[in-house]
Amino acid sequence: MSDDAATTEAPPAAGGGPEPGAEGAPRRTVAARLTGALGSGLAQLLLVLIALFWLVPTLGLFVSSLRTPADNASSGWWTALLEPAQLTLENYARLLDNAVFTGSFLNTILITVPSTLLIVVIAALAAYAFAWLEFPGRDWLFLGVVALLVVPLQVALVPIAQLYGGLGIYGSIAGVVLFHVGFGLPFAIFLLRNFFAAIPRDLLEAARMDGGKEFTIFRRVILPLGGPAIASLTIFQFLWVWNDLLVALVFADAANQPMTKALQAEMRQFGANIDIISSGAFISMLVPLVVFFAFQRYFVQGVMAGAVK
Amino acid sequence: MWPTAQPRARTAAAPRRGARHGVRGTGSPMPSGEDGWWLIVADVRLDGVYKIYPDGTSAVNDLNLEIADGEFLVLVGPSGCGKTTALRMIAGLEEISKGTVAIGDRTVNRVPARDRDVAMVFQSYALYPHLTVEDNIGFGLQLRKMPKAQIAERVAKAAATLGLTDHLKRKPRNLSGGQRQRVAMGRAIVREPQAFLMDEPLSNLDAKLRVQMRAEISRLQRDLGVTTVYVTHDQVEAMTLGDRVAVMKKGVLQQVAPPQELYERPGNLFVAGFIGSPAMNLVQGRLEADGDGALLSLGDQRLAVPAALLAERPGLRGMLGRDVAVGVRPEDMDDADLPGEAPEGTVLESETELVEALGSELLVHFAIGAPPVVTEDTRELARDAGADEIGAAGGRSPMIAKFSPRSQTGEGRPVRVRVDTARLYFFDPETGAGIWGEPGAEQRREGSHG
């Protein structure tokens, strides 16, 4: 079939087109292909270089975490690349024996998991209401939520610390979680609402005709379809809370401090406990990395879908 | 607005299917159709229904309709005529501003959509993209907490009816348009609802598939015998599917009647121009008495109106000596130069402007020296057809006739058009009402045809 088409089409093209056109076409494509290949090759090379460059601090941290404090104090981490004999797991062994560190690791989990779950659950419900339920003042309320996006959390630190003091939750994990939830919700609601609102109305109406009550529609239609957005929100929120230092510094006391605060405490004015910081920081990076790679497909999809749709 | 569209007049429900499934919304199941579906059928009644939006615009005005058990009623009209809004009010997806909607013996104004026991087929099909065909069809049953085995059985039966058995495990995105449409139908029939509501279910299919699915919907509805309200803007669908067809314009019901009656006795200019393809030619003329019959002047040409026609439509007597709006269907005209009789007073002379050969017939465009009918109805029709402002050609009216393919007429040549004068339509130029019975009386009852 295709051969036939080629032979029948070739003669008119050759006869009809003047010579320069016939010659020009392949030359252009070669040139175009060359620039294209060069362009994409250069771009790729550049991207790889940037990626490697970007990874240098992480690599340095990792290598440092495998060297003794004495080695770290006497020479740069890159020397270990030439003398792998320096490398040791000693720091990690000591870190895992350190009750302050293991306690703070647990605290990080106790803060991050509820903060993430609460935000996702509340935001999904609120986003459904903002997107699909009719109630008076809905649009004004949503406008209020959007307005909250621009409030920097720093301005709330002092008043909320005072408030917590009055409530008796200052320094507790609950206080930290509450703060994260409060300041995470506007963005979470905004993201999910826009995603949910892009789900065709017909689908919800079909579910309504099929006998679905609001919550059933939410659970059986909206949640499955909103999967990518919810996954990306979960990652966003998880990373944000996991890596937070500021909120922890203000609201968590020593018994309830997360890893970030514990590691920060190892910094000294004229030095640092590099063995604890490097290994601890690397462990604290590991968990978000795993989460990210596990969900990265959704992450990319979700960001796109939430933004464009 | 139009005396012809007297909406208060209730239409007699078509008895055809109602008799077969004579359960008037009593809720008692009865077997119907060869497939042995057990269905509770119900009539649907709309009583003085209005839809007025908060900004004051009204989508539906005083709509009165009675749809009998098992009847197939088609709501048709140009876009924005309120037909979909009316359907959505029956479904419970749109609030009713005024009036009542009843399904069976229950007024459903305050009943949420999920409890109305009606199923809807959406224009977009609205299939759940994350569910398989099987789960899409069974979704409504799952929500009703039906035992799994029973769901599987019903889904299998619906799938078999619709030829979807091989596709049950697939997701909607892997189906063709026609298959998706079937899944949407399956989702409706598996519920065995009291009524089907269909919102332009075929408009997303290509022309060939549309014809095929149209026949299938017709067969399915006949087999199941479920009361069906079907919304479309396609008059061919309306004519072929409906037991009765309700024509709407700007939220106002114009006429409800069986398809043939709608075609034969349109209640007003709008219905006349909307039903039929190509559309009825509408020109201004003048009726003068001429013995037992009458003479119809169309510009400088004359047609003889037979005495029998005047006897059949007494209302015409009242129009003698007055201007009338005259309707001629393209299919009631032919080439007068072909063999056959062309007695005096049945021929219009003009010049052929364009010939569209369709094989089985020729569509011949020409113009006559009589002004076109310009009323609110014809303007609305022109807008629906996407045509230019009517009357742009001055005192001449463009006409289309369906000629036999044997006609030798060609562009730019004089043409003699024979008109079947017994099939002329007359309308009051002021009100747009069709002139049929006694002067005045009939015009106020036009809505009740059927």
For the segment A69-100, what is each residue's pLDDT rounded down to a tens digit? Answer: 777 777 777 777 777 777 778 778 787 887 88
A221 contacts in B (CB within 8 Å)?
Answer: 128
pLDDT at B41: 62
B139 contacts in A (CB within 8 Å)?
Answer: 207, 210, 220
**Which of B84, B95, B122, B155 would you mutate first to test chain A, the one with the most A CBs within 10 A?**
B122
pLDDT above 80 (res A205): yes
pLDDT at A5: 39
pLDDT above 80 (res A9): no
pLDDT at A300: 62
How confident is the model over A238-257, as a mean pLDDT? 85
pLDDT at B332: 93
pLDDT above 60 (res B1): no
Q: Nearest-CA distance from B404 to chain A in Å?
A: 41
Residue of A nearest to B113 (CA): A209
A78 to A56, A71, A72, A88, A277: CA distances (angstroms): 10, 11, 10, 15, 18
A133 contacts in B (CB within 8 Å)?
Answer: none
CB A208 to CB B187 under 8 A?
Answer: no
A203 contacts in B (CB within 8 Å)?
Answer: 126, 128
**Which of A134, A208, A209, A223 would you mutate first to test chain B, the one with the most B CBs within 10 A?**
A209
pLDDT at B441: 45
**Which of B90, B94, B108, B143 would you mutate first to test chain A, the one with the most A CBs within 10 A?**
B143
Residues B357/B365, Cβ–Cβ less than 8 Å: no
How confident is the model over B178-202, as a mean pLDDT? 89
Whole-angstrom distance, CA of residue B203 vs CA of residue B231: 11
CB B128 to CB A203 under 8 A?
Answer: yes
pLDDT at A95: 79
How confident is the model over B288-308, as a mean pLDDT? 87
pLDDT above 50 (res A11): no
A216 contacts in B (CB within 8 Å)?
Answer: 143
Say whether residue A212 is in contact with chain B using an 8 A CB cutoff.
Answer: yes
The angle at the Cα of A291, spanning A286 to A295, to the nearest 5 degrees, equals 150
Q: Nearest-CA distance from A210 to chain B in Å?
A: 4
Q: Where are the alpha helices (DSSP H) in B307-349?
A: 307-312
More confident residue, B155 or B390: B155
Strand partners, B101: B46
Strand partners, B372: B283
**Dihedral sign of CA atoms B318, B319, B325, B327 in order:** positive
- What is the band of A4 on the pLDDT scale with cuts at 50, 70, 90? very low
Q: Tally A–B CB contacts below 8 A.
A: 60
More confident residue, A11 or B349: B349
DSSP codes of every residue in B262-273:
HHHS-SBHHHHH
pLDDT at B353: 92
> Can you state the angle between helices A173-197 and A227-243, rounded to 10 degrees?
150
CB A209 to CB B130 under 8 A?
Answer: no
CB B128 to CB A202 under 8 A?
Answer: no
DSSP codes of every residue in B392-425:
TTTT-EEEEEEE-TT----TTSEEEEEE-GGG-E
pLDDT at B418: 92
**Which of A139, A204, A210, A213 would you mutate first to test chain B, the one with the most B CBs within 10 A?**
A210
Terminal C-alpha separation, chain A: 42
DSSP codes of every residue in B252-314:
EEEEEE-HHHHHHS-SBHHHHHHSSSSPPEEEEEEEEEETTEEEEEETTEEEEEPHHHHHH-G
Task: Tell me phi and psi for residue B420, to 5 degrees.
Answer: -80, 90
Residues B257/B100, Cβ–Cβ less than 8 Å: no
- What is the band of B9 on the pLDDT scale with cuts at 50, 70, 90? very low
Q: Residue B2 — left, alpha, or beta (φ > 0 → left; ψ -120 to 50 → alpha)? A: beta
pLDDT above 50 (res B113): yes
- What is the band of B365 on the pLDDT scale with cuts at 50, 70, 90? very high
**How long is chain B?**
450
Whole-angstrom distance, CA of residue B36 vs CA of residue A171: 70
- What is the band of B30 on the pLDDT scale with cuts at 50, 70, 90? very low
CB A209 to CB B112 under 8 A?
Answer: no
| CA B113 to centroid of chain Cα atoms | 26
More confident residue, A39 or B224: B224
CB A225 to CB B126 under 8 A?
Answer: no
Percent of chain B with pLDDT over 90: 26
What is the enclosing helix (H) or strand (E) of A41?
helix A19-65
Q: Where are the alpha helices (DSSP H) in B41-117?
A: 83-91
pLDDT above 90 (res B246): yes
How confident is the model over B108-136, as a mean pLDDT? 88
Say whether residue A136 is in contact with chain B using an 8 A CB cutoff.
Answer: no
Among candidate residues B283, B276, B317, B318, the one with its CA nearest the CA of residue B303: B283
CB A210 to CB B124 under 8 A?
Answer: no
pLDDT above 90 (res A128): yes
**Dihedral sign of CA atoms A124, A128, A130, A135 in order:** negative
CB B191 to CB A210 under 8 A?
Answer: yes
Residue among A212, A220, A221 minimizing CB distance to B114: A212
pLDDT at B208: 85
Say whether residue A231 is in contact with chain B using an 8 A CB cutoff.
Answer: no
How confident is the model over B18-43, as a mean pLDDT? 47
pLDDT at B88: 92
Residue of A nearest to B190 (CA): A210
CA dihedral defined by B382, B386, B392, B393, rounded to 10 degrees? Answer: -90
pLDDT at B392: 62
Residue among A200, A205, A210 minimizing CB distance to B139: A210
- Lookup result for tokens 């479904």: B91
Residues B276/B400, Cβ–Cβ less than 8 Å: no
What three-state secondary structure class fits B72?
strand
pLDDT at A8: 39
Sheet holding B397-403, edge to edge: B354-357, B362-368, B397-403
Residue among A200, A216, A224 minimizing CB distance to B143: A216
Residue of A nearest to B127 (CA): A203
Q: Any idea what DSSP says for residue A221?
A: I
B interface toward A at CB cutoff 8 Å?
91-93, 112-115, 118-120, 122-124, 126-130, 139-140, 143-144, 187, 191
Residue among A203, A212, A227 minimizing CB distance to B126: A203
pLDDT above 80 (res A273): no
Which positions ≥6 away from A274 have C-beta within 8 Å? A64, A69, A72, A73
Q: Nearest-CA distance from A259 to chain B in Å?
A: 40
pLDDT at A301: 59
Strand partners, B60: B51
- What is the band of A124 on the pLDDT scale with cuts at 50, 70, 90? very high
Strand partners, B65: B46
Reported as a single tens digit per residue, the pLDDT across B368-397 is: 988 888 888 888 888 887 776 666 666 788
Average pLDDT, rounded, for chain B: 83
Whole-angstrom distance, CA of residue A61 vs CA of residue A49: 19
For residue A1, what are its two tokens? 């079939």
Whole-angstrom distance, CA of residue B263 vs CA of residue B261: 5
Say whether residue A205 is in contact with chain B using an 8 A CB cutoff.
Answer: yes
Residue among B123, B129, B143 minimizing CB distance to A210: B143
B121 contacts in A (CB within 8 Å)?
Answer: none
- Which of A76-90, A248-262, B263-277 is the least confident region? A76-90
Q: Nearest-CA distance from A116 to chain B in Å?
A: 25
Say whether residue A210 is in contact with chain B using an 8 A CB cutoff.
Answer: yes
